[in-house]
């Protein structure tokens, strides 16, 4: 089984986006994964043969954060993502350090949804909402394949869900502190 890839069209939208909002409840979002974490996620999902090529593609996509005028990147992740070891303690420590590093970028916001928040609209699965040339485009992840949503009510619904999840998330500062504390548990 091949790993799930976003559509080529989605990646083009991502490259042109002014704002990228990402929610993920099961692992660190692709745009901020370390190489070892990315390979760990892919191998754990049974994508051993594609892990290296897919990881290279993911690392290439991260270059948008290095552009002269990068997009604003808003990330919401569940606390369990920090605590679920992927590929070992050293990989997780490195991944936590990467989250802290990226969170310091002027156009990046990383916030954690605490376990105490309970059920929230993100439990239906991961999704992204992009602002591209004044319009919203969304991508909803799924077990076998994701779905690009280029217009209409469904993109609006996911934008509202992102805000609802964000209302339950910890502040940037408290999220930073939680990531730091969790990183120390991997030492």
Does residue 85 surpass a pLDDT of 80?
Answer: yes
Q: Considering the domain boundaries, does residue 27 fall inside one?
A: yes
pLDDT in tens, 107-142: 999 999 999 877 776 777 788 999 998 888 888 876
The pTM assigned to this predicted structure is 0.86
**How do residues 11-21 score in pLDDT, each as one tens digit?**
888 888 999 99
Sheet holding 147-149, edge to edge: 108-113, 72-78, 19-24, 127-132, 135-140, 147-149
pLDDT value at position 144? 54
Q: Are 5 and 139 in contact (CB under 8 A)?
A: no
Total domains present in the chain: 1
Cα distances (Å, whole numbers) of residue 83 to 64, 72, 95: 27, 26, 11
- pLDDT of 145 above 70: no
Any domain includes 51: yes
pLDDT band at 3 (very low <50, low <70, confident <90, very high): very low
Q: Does any domain span residue 3?
A: no
Q: What is the CA radius of gyration of the chain?
A: 16
Does residue 2 form part of some domain?
no
Our CA angle for 147, 153, 159, nearest 5°, is: 75
Q: Which of 133, 14, 176, 173 shows the shortest CA–CA distance to 22? A: 14
For residue 142, the model assigns a pLDDT of 63
Q: Which of 78, 65, 92 is nearest to 175 (CA)?
A: 78
pLDDT value of position 64: 86
Domain contains 52:
yes
3-state secondary structure of 134: coil
- Mean pLDDT value across the chain: 84
CATH of the domain at 56: 3.30.870
Q: Beta partners for 21?
A: 74, 129
The answer to whether the CB of 120 falls within 8 A of the CB of 113 is yes
Q: How far apart (Å, rounded) are the C-alpha atoms in residues 92 and 90?
A: 5
Joined together, the tokens standing for residue 186 give 């991997």
User: Which structural domain range is residue 56 located in?
Assistant: 8-185
Task: Report yes or no on 48 lying in a domain.
Answer: yes
């Amino acid at each position: 089984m091949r790993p799930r890839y976003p559509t080529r069209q989605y990646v083009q939208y991502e490259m042109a986006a002014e704002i990228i909002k990402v929610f993920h409840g099961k692992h660190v979002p692709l745009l901020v994964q370390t190489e070892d974490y990315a390979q760990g996620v892919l191998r754990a999902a049974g994508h051993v043969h594609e892990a290296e090529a897919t990881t290279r593609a993911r690392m290439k996509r991260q270059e948008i954060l290095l552009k002269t005028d990068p997009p604003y990147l808003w990330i919401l992740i569940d606390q369990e993502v920090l605590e679920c070891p992927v590929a070992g303690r050293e990989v997780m420590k490195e991944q936590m350090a990467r989250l802290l590093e990226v969170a310091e970028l002027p156009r990046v916001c990383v916030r954690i949804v605490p376990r105490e928040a309970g059920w929230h609209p993100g439990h239906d699965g991961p999704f992204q909402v992009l602002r591209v040339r004044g319009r919203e485009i969304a991508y909803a992840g799924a077990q076998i394949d994701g779905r690009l949503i280029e217009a209409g009510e469904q993109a609006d619904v996911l934008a509202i869900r992102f805000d609802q999840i964000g209302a339950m998330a910890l502040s940037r500062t408290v999220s930073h502190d939680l990531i730091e504390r969790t990183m120390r548990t991997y030492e």
